[in-house]
Structure 1
Amino acid sequence: MELLDLVKKHSPVTGEQLAEYLGVSRPTLRSDLSLLVMLGMLDAKPKVGYFLGNTLRTAGEPLPRFNSMKVKDVQGVPVNIPDTLSVHDAVIMLFTENADTLLVVTENKRFAGIITPKDLLKITLGNAGAASIPVSMVMTRYPNIVTLSPDDSVLDAIRKMSLHQVDCLPVTVESDDGAGQPVVTGWVSKSNIIRLMAEHATSQELGEPGL
């Protein structure tokens, strides 16, 4: 992971410096840095900066437990919408399902793309007729989307989220008919990962077996 390599090379290093090295804004990195700190990969001290966390200093491989866990064991149920759904109805779905990302599927349930609040905001601002536009016109289309396989490790999911700066990754499998578009079986989000870490920390405090 590029962030970890930069911290290892320049620690202690501030968030502003990391953003400058990567050519992105500081807010863009905030959620990734918070996740890495929570996972124990990074530590942070106010007015000092970021440095490698205890997980990386004491283990040959970061989060070996997460490296052995499979995506299929932790994936959540995705919020799927048809590619014919209107932008207006997609906005309603985001709120009613409390979702950060919607997965778009075709009539035969093949994975077509994803749509985020940012996508919806961009199309609706200053566009009075946007509400009736189908989401297929504004979504990010497959295959231009990073995905996971059910047999990928949870650590792979963490790495992909950090590398591509996304909050959610669809989990897909090849369709039975061999068509080009896969089938969505689930998703992994940063909230999934944070929940896993919380459960692991609780089990460690109680002296129970880890995840």
Structure 2
Amino acid sequence: MEAGGITIELTPRQLEIVDIVKKHAPITGDQIAELLNVSRATLRTDLSKLVILDYIDAKPKVGYFLGKRGEPDREEKFRLLKMKVGDLHGVPIIIRETTTIQEAVVALFLENVGNLIVTDADGHLAGIVSRKDLLKVTLGNPSASSMPVSLIMTRRANVTTVQPEDTVLDAARKIITRQIDSLPVVVPSEDGNPDHWKVVGRITKTNIIKMLLDMVAEE
């Protein structure tokens, strides 16, 4: 850590003390010494340093608690938990069901994405076609280039989606669980049909990682 522009490194024992206080606070110096199997006098310098640096806090006749530097950043954690997909998603890369496989391949590489969202003529989500889907159908099959993507796409019923009001953490869990790179962001269609969803965005691993890096950079 840094204090007044000077880098101060904690020793392994000091880090262990912080962890003990985190788990057992309030805890006395004698109890910490017992857990570490050392004498109370041995810890005097370590405890003083940690109090000065605000990793732990001492309260007379009570014991040690975590200090401000020892506590997780609750405000940032709360902000992360509350952030919505609608605050983060990007522009969707969309093609129609009638788009040919050759056109889809061109779009995939021009946009530099791992998959394309497929919609019907009315703009409702119809499916997703991935780089792997296109690779499978084109290898050793010259006639595939003129086929419509609707023949090879993953259909809507099997597509994992999120809505703008879902949390970013929910989206991240779906991405990890499904082992995919991105999710379509959808809203119910105005026609009231429960099977019709309008695509309004796309959230990706890159979006989420960039958000985390931006949050760290703000500290």
TM-score per shorter chain, which class?
A: 0.5 to 0.7
Distance 1:90 1:201, change over 3 A: same
CA distance in 2, matches of 1:64, 1:137: 44
- Tell me whether 1:203 sits opposite 2:218 in the alignment: yes
1:112 to 101, 126, 140: 126
TM-score (norm 2): 0.64
Q: In terms of Rg, which structure is larger?
A: 2
CA distance in 2, matches of 1:107, 1:92: 21
- Tell me whether 1:74 sits opposite 2:88 in the alignment: yes
Deviation at 1:99, TM superposition (A): 1.3
Deviation at 1:172, TM superposition (A): 0.6
1:7 alignment counterpart: none
2:113 to 99, 102, 127: 99
Counterpart contact for 1:69–1:154, Cα < 8 Å: yes
Distance 1:59 1:161, change over 3 A: farther
CA distance in 2, matches of 1:83, 1:198: 36
1:190 alignment counterpart: 205
CA distance in 1, matches of 2:77, 2:118: 32
Deviation at 1:59, TM superposition (A): 8.0
Deviation at 1:194, TM superposition (A): 1.0
Deviation at 1:78, TM superposition (A): 0.4
- Tell me whether 1:178 sits opposite 2:214 in the alignment: no
Secondary structure of 2:200's aligned partner: strand
Secondary structure of 2:137's aligned partner: helix
Q: Which amino acid aligns with 2:142?
A: A
CA deviations over 1:156-201 (Å, ceiling 9, x no partner): 1111111111110111111010122211010100000111011111
Please provide the CA RMSD for this pair.
1.7
Unaligned ranges ≥5, structure 1: 1-56, 205-211
CA deviations over 1:93-140 (Å, ceiling 9, x no partner): 011111111000111101100111000001111111110010000100
CA distance in 1, matches of 2:127, 2:149: 9
2:99 to 67, 85, 92: 85
The count of aligned residue pairs is: 147
CA distance in 2, matches of 1:143, 1:64: 33
Secondary structure of 1:152's aligned partner: coil
1:147 alignment counterpart: 161
1:123 to 137, 152, 164: 137
2:63 alignment counterpart: none
Identity between Structure 1 and Structure 2 (%): 43
CA distance in 1, matches of 2:72, 2:151: 49
Deviation at 1:65, TM superposition (A): 2.4
Deviation at 1:63, TM superposition (A): 4.4
Distance 1:58 1:140, change over 3 A: same
